[in-house]
Amino acid sequence: MSLAMHKTCRSELAREIFKKIKQLAPAGLLACLLLGGCASLPLPEQTPTLALPMQLHIQREQADQRQDWLLVIQQQGAGLRWSLMDPLGIPLARQVLQDGSWHADGLLPPNPEARELFAALLFALTPQAELAANYPQAESAADARFLKPRWQVHYQQRQVLRIDIKGDVHYAISPLEAAP
């Protein structure tokens, strides 16, 4: 603590608080760096060409639990708007991918799992011709692609796929059928 702090602040409580902040600062900085590392998801070099708007059924599987969600991807200005909802239409997450980063869309709290799903799905939906330029570290086979160690994508047919995410979370994805 500096001598100036002692002269300008005579409050014992303020001195104690300042002392605690100095002690906790390195741990707080480390926590921010770790969280920042978790938040940095692989994104394409440029937004891939997608047939939009797109409406998808997402079935999340982890251990014995399954959840059904609806996802709408649409163009919003220069960005892509991702809206994840439960089967009743209640929003779970809304994000816009613009200028190479994710931005909150609306007042929903941050949803890191949804953001990871959106990033993995963008990787999965990137046309094969654009894959190498957008994801140089990606590997691909006839019916699969990988972004190790994070994502594995297995294709059954056009827009019907399965994404396996590190941590034993699996997503079965298929297009929503349009009502006649």
Considering only residues 159 and 52, tell me which one the structure prediction assigns the higher pLDDT: 52
* H-run or E-run covering 133: helix 128-134
Which are the contacts of 43, defined by CB distance < 8 A and separation ≥ 6?
97, 100, 101, 119, 122
Is the pLDDT at 115 greater than 70? The verdict is yes
For the segment 147-153, the average pLDDT, to the nearest whole number, is: 95
Cα–Cα dist 51/125, whole Å? 10
Q: Tell me the pTM.
A: 0.77
Q: What is the CA radius of gyration of the chain?
A: 22
pLDDT band at 58 (very low <50, low <70, confident <90, very high): very high
Q: What is the largest CA-CA distance in the chain?
A: 78
CB 176 within 8 A of CB 85: no
Domain boundaries, the chain: 3-39, 54-175
pLDDT reported for residue 17: 60
- State the pLDDT confidence band at 40, using cuts at 50, 70 and 90: confident
> Looking at the predicted structure, is the pLDDT value of residue 2 above 60?
no
Say if residue 35's pLDDT is above 60: no
3-class DSSP state of 4: helix
Cβ distance 103 to 81 under 8 Å? no
